[in-house]
A and B are shown apart, each in its own frame.
Chain A
């Protein structure tokens, strides 16, 4: 058996008790070639950590291809897991421990600065003595490059160990690695076995047994060979918790909302919402319809919504673009519709598996003509669940389109949250097909609010023809200027009514004002608030607020902004740096929320945005905060 280079004890010496490092939080990664199961390992580790009482946030590291070439930095696939003794709201800055299945995927993490300077690295050492001299050389070069930092590198004979159980180690290394982590972090093997049973519930008993054997193999190897353990204190919550990823939460929210039809077309990173629904939706009286294309998915959802309970569609950027015309139709015909957009990098095909927040303006405005719709953005996994319930209700009450903007970070991120106490009132009521009074008009707009009751096909006396053409209260095609002016006003007024029902956002920090206010939306909440908390602890006068409603915007923003010397958004979308060549205050492209806030409040809102293809790190935001404060009044 190969002995880890870091270990000095020889076979005759009794294994010393490991030193236990106690920490308030720890961040680790597990990375492999695509298809070697690092993600599954990370997911199980994250879930079990949450179940044992740690705060958890996980982020998937995903290449765009299913099977990119092995042993390449670009092919790195895996998971980052940040665990804490208290709630964890984001993926943190750098990792303190990494398990890597080869040195090339490890290099990719090293090169992008993901690893802390003193990180512990557990790396498969098969490659050091590989029969292919090119691979041996690559290994040596990589170790040379890694030696420029103070990493502690522990070589682990993963494949050699796994071969004692399974002739195809590629399939089992992830469970061996899980065993290593279980030892290091003292995770309950019984809980892990339960989680393995659930993960492989569609596979045979034999598969389960093999995975459990590999888990124990890893655990035992670590027991015999590692000289350290890491303890992140757990705490038991007084409330029952659930732990899941954002796409699961969206799907469960849809079930809780009582919606009974989802029409979709496969698109990363939204598709797993439909995977979940495909398994259970029929039990809930629902239909998951995989349409022939994104456009049809919107059309089917609109047809279903028009005829009965509100329906929804789930997509990502390119799909949203294709659905544009149908979304306009739903707005124009006042057909309730929920559109969930799990954002990824764009434009075009962009970064299919990577997080970005660049669909905001498309969600708000991508439409010829004036098509006001509601846009909300969950900022946590828990909010993913509740946002769909809210969206269904708003769509129905306001007879319009509600867009829910999630993103790739939330989609695959796993976080525990209080188990929702389900309420019947969250659910759509059964369609009422009672006869209507004769001469009921399909758009009986309340002149003050723009709201009107919805008629369903099947209701006697209600017969009318929905049309995307300009129409009057009777849904009759009408091109007169007065009619279009009024119907446009009615569709717009509904958003103003909703805005008046909202409460001003809560300020994290000092509500009375200060040097800087950071404004964010969506999945960046945890990272922004952690950065603000760190900055405030250093004595910086900075606060933050996070918007859930983007259309209509939450009330009171102008007054809040005026209490701060400077306001800046932090977003995962592109903006020019003020110091870039040719950039002036007039031509600078700004973050999408900044663009919107400037237009709506006339406050000179600045921004700090990045499109790194990964979530923002709180440390990077904290540095930006310092620069924004120092540069007060700059651009």
Chain B
């Protein structure tokens, strides 16, 4: 996700140490999500990834918005930025532009990303900066107690649409796959830890913005949402490919498999558009799309160089 060191942006490198990081180096305080919340398993998968990749906790940043899932950074011992509703992506953009040496992960909920923050979502995909973005999609506003979200299924009863959600849900996958400069779109599920982990790992190693939608249940308000799929693995189709996600350990359980080449965006769009089946895996990946943070990388200058340059600018205005 990052090929920079501190020296690349002009500040002193941190003290090197070759210690091995263990789970305890990343684990924060006990998470205060409801028992049974999908966020727990996502946090576990992320911690596992951090250990596996041996990411320095001080070089790693989790940026979130507002909502249940946005408490995520509080439960890690890395740096975290728990900002305001819908605006995790702009904050992460600023961090990554200024500090390309940091590993930046963005954690958002469905209301956060697809509703109040939708403008930033589309543009972050186009910026395609080197970050991992996770959409923790439980199809409901949980923290504010059961209001319709953009991904709430049609007809689903909530406190704001008590006779059932009026409209078909927004499809985050087709939205992203239709956005210019998209470079990585994957879908996984919170109740399949091995797939979740493998998907996050693929996302981490992607060049560009790796966007992972994690299907998730809210144990309070959308407990029935994926009930059938959890019980019956045949309702899920795994997208498999050497360039995508392979989870051989799950093959015995998830027998519905489709070989999908993630470089084929048209096939990806078709598969994403067909919502009769739950499909997990990498829908699309292209590592050769322009990354805004790589394009916007000015050479750092010293204070005296700045003064010399500025004097030249002032010469233009000299009387």
**A515 part of interface (Cβ distance < 8 Å):** no
Taking CB atoms, residues of chain B closer than 8 Å to A150 are none
Q: How far is the CA of A422 from the CA of B240 in the complex (A)?
A: 61
Contact A303 B11 (CB under 8 A): no
Taking CB atoms, residues of chain B closer than 8 Å to A433 are 6, 11-14
Contact B58 A468 (CB under 8 A): no
As a 0/1 sequence over residues 297 to 310 of chain B, the CB contacts with chain A under 8 angstroms (1 = contact) are: 01111011011011
Known: A243-B319, A280-B313, A460-B58. A306 touches B81 (CB 8 A): yes
Q: How far is the CA of A422 from the CA of B304 in the complex (A)?
A: 10
Taking CB atoms, residues of chain A closer than 8 Å to B299 are 285
Partner of B119, one of A261, A296, A306, A434: A296
Distance (Å) between the CB of B79 and the closest chain A CB?
Answer: 4
Distance (Å) between the CB of B303 and the closest chain A CB?
Answer: 4
Taking CB atoms, residues of chain B closer than 8 Å to A244 are 317
**B101 part of interface (Cβ distance < 8 Å):** yes
**A420 part of interface (Cβ distance < 8 Å):** yes
As a 0/1 sequence over residues 57 to 96 of chain A, the CB contacts with chain B under 8 angstroms (1 = contact) are: 0000000000000000000000000000000000000000
Contact A468 B82 (CB under 8 A): yes
Of residues 272 through 324 on chain A, the ones whose CB sits less than 8 Å from some CB of chain B are: 280-287, 289, 291-293, 295-309, 311
Distance (Å) between the CB of A88 and the closest chain B CB?
Answer: 14
Contact B87 A296 (CB under 8 A): yes
Contact B319 A255 (CB under 8 A): no
Q: How many A-B residue pairs have CB under 8 A?
A: 216
Partner of B93, one of A242, A299, A329: A299
Taking CB atoms, residues of chain B closer than 8 Å to A301 are 94
Closest B residue by C-beta to A276: B313
Contact A468 B83 (CB under 8 A): yes
Q: Which of A205-213, A423-431, A574-582 contacts B (4 or more CB under 8 A)?
A: A423-431
Among B14, B63, B298, B309, find the residue whose CB has the most chain A CB atoms closer than 10 A: B298
Contact B314 A263 (CB under 8 A): no
**A341 part of interface (Cβ distance < 8 Å):** no
Among A252, A261, A306, A329, find the residue whose CB has the most chain B CB atoms closer than 10 A: A306
**A529 part of interface (Cβ distance < 8 Å):** no
As a 0/1 sequence over residues 1 to 28 of chain B, the CB contacts with chain A under 8 angstroms (1 = contact) are: 0000010011111110000000000000
Contact A457 B102 (CB under 8 A): yes
Known: A424-B304, A458-B101. A326 touches B310 (CB 8 A): no
Closest B residue by C-beta to A252: B313
Among B101, B122, B303, find the residue whose CB has the most chain A CB atoms closer than 10 A: B303
**B229 part of interface (Cβ distance < 8 Å):** no
As a 0/1 sequence over residues 89 to 103 of chain B, the CB contacts with chain A under 8 angstroms (1 = contact) are: 111111111110110
Contact A252 B90 (CB under 8 A): no
Known: A296-B93, A460-B58. A287 touches B298 (CB 8 A): yes
Contact A252 B310 (CB under 8 A): yes
Contact B87 A309 (CB under 8 A): no
Closest B residue by C-beta to A295: B87
**B74 part of interface (Cβ distance < 8 Å):** yes
Contact B318 A419 (CB under 8 A): yes
Taking CB atoms, residues of chain A closer than 8 Å to B78 are 463
As a 0/1 sequence over residues 68 to 80 of chain B, the CB contacts with chain A under 8 angstroms (1 = contact) are: 0000011011111
Contact B11 A465 (CB under 8 A): no
Closest B residue by C-beta to A332: B84
Q: How far is the CA of A459 from the CA of B310 in the complex (A)?
A: 31
Contact A284 B314 (CB under 8 A): no
Contact B97 A296 (CB under 8 A): no
Contact A304 B95 (CB under 8 A): yes
**B231 part of interface (Cβ distance < 8 Å):** no
As a 0/1 sequence over residues 16 to 28 of chain A, the CB contacts with chain B under 8 angstroms (1 = contact) are: 0000000000000
Taking CB atoms, residues of chain B closer than 8 Å to A466 are 80-83
**B120 part of interface (Cβ distance < 8 Å):** yes
Contact A237 B319 (CB under 8 A): yes
**B61 part of interface (Cβ distance < 8 Å):** yes
Closest A residue by C-beta to B127: A292
Q: How far is the CA of A415 from the CA of B12 in the complex (A)?
A: 42
Closest A residue by C-beta to B15: A435
Q: How far is the CA of A466 from the CA of B71 in the complex (A)?
A: 11
Contact A296 B123 (CB under 8 A): yes
Contact B310 A422 (CB under 8 A): yes
Contact B83 A307 (CB under 8 A): no
**B59 part of interface (Cβ distance < 8 Å):** yes
Contact B80 A424 (CB under 8 A): no
Distance (Å) between the CB of B208 and the closest chain A CB?
Answer: 18
Distance (Å) between the CB of A273 and the closest chain B CB?
Answer: 14
**B316 part of interface (Cβ distance < 8 Å):** yes
Closest B residue by C-beta to A325: B84
Taking CB atoms, residues of chain B closer than 8 Å to A255 are 306, 309-310, 313
Closest A residue by C-beta to B308: A422
Closest B residue by C-beta to A242: B317
Distance (Å) between the CB of B316 and the closest chain A CB?
Answer: 7
Contact B10 A292 (CB under 8 A): no
8 residue pairs bridging A and B, Cβ less than 8 Å apart: A252-B314, A287-B296, A299-B90, A301-B94, A434-B12, A435-B15, A457-B58, A458-B6
Q: Top 10 nearest A-B pairs by Cβ distance?
A: A303-B94, A299-B90, A465-B80, A300-B94, A241-B319, A304-B94, A304-B98, A303-B91, A292-B123, A296-B90
- Other 15 A-B pairs with CB < 8 A, given A286-B298, A287-B97: A263-B94, A283-B301, A284-B298, A285-B298, A289-B93, A289-B94, A292-B122, A296-B93, A302-B94, A303-B63, A326-B84, A424-B303, A427-B306, A432-B11, A458-B79
